[in-house]
Amino acid sequence: MNPNPQSAIPLYFQIEQDLASLIASGVLAPGSQIPSEEELVQKYGVSRTTVRKAVQELERLGLIEIRRGKGTFVRAAKLTQELTALTGFVEDMVAIGLQPSAKLLSKETVPATEEVARQLRLPIGTEVMQIRRVRMADDVAISLDETYLPLGLGRKVVENDLEVYPIFSLLEGKYDTPLLEADYRIEAVSADPAVAEALGIEEKAPILLIERVSYSLDQNPVDFEKLFYRGDKLRLTTRLQRRPSPIPLEALPRIASKGR
């Protein structure tokens, strides 16, 4: 497509629409890299300013993403995770045909904060093992996982290659710690500088914070995690059953009148 400078439609919008059409048709497939700024300037015969405006609009629409130091790529569809069973990241990614991997950022003994102590049912200040990893799917950063384990169990876990072995698999397959169920808390938050740097996103970008406490036998908490998921990469789904309403039909007018 050759942009028409005589048209009332701005040049950047003509280019934006052409690229959006290529994305919609699959010519530019999800995950593929779009031409560089210089290549787009040559292709469309316009200024860099015009190309940048078109690319910025495509990014604003969520059709592309800019990866620092790598280029600009067509945004893949969101990963869909069903909240119907206790599963780990590797299991979730394999189930949808993606290649999981991990980058270990740190593993260290730290004193339990009030939050960590409460979740693991330990006195505040008790030493626990903290493990921080970036979890990736097809080499794209998806989440930053911050895991806390009781110190005795944590010291065993960190002896393993945590870029290869999931913690769930080690707990169940090597350290005789079956995971039976978990509590989930999900909150929409903004990425702080540390999370943004780890995930390669902008500060204050929308992310999902999932706090998960996993329990073993006798309802003992053995694993507390703070999972920072990119908001543009994950969709959570579940199916809910309707329970009988505790509010009788005849009580509704009375309830409504109180709010006036």
Single out the residue of 217, 230, 256, 32 nearest to residue 136, CA to CA. Answer: 230
Return the CATH fold of 11-74: Arc Repressor Mutant, subunit A (1.10.10)
Return the CATH fold of 79-237: Chorismate lyase (3.40.1410)
Q: Give this prediction's pTM.
A: 0.71
Per-residue pLDDT of the chain (260 residues; tens, 9 = 90+): 788 888 889 999 999 999 988 888 889 888 889 999 999 999 999 999 999 999 999 988 778 888 777 889 887 767 777 788 898 999 988 887 889 999 999 999 999 999 999 999 999 999 999 999 999 988 889 999 999 999 999 999 999 999 999 999 999 999 999 999 999 999 999 999 999 999 988 899 899 999 999 999 989 999 999 999 998 888 888 888 888 988 898 888 888 887 55
Q: Where are the domains of the chain?
A: 11-74, 79-237
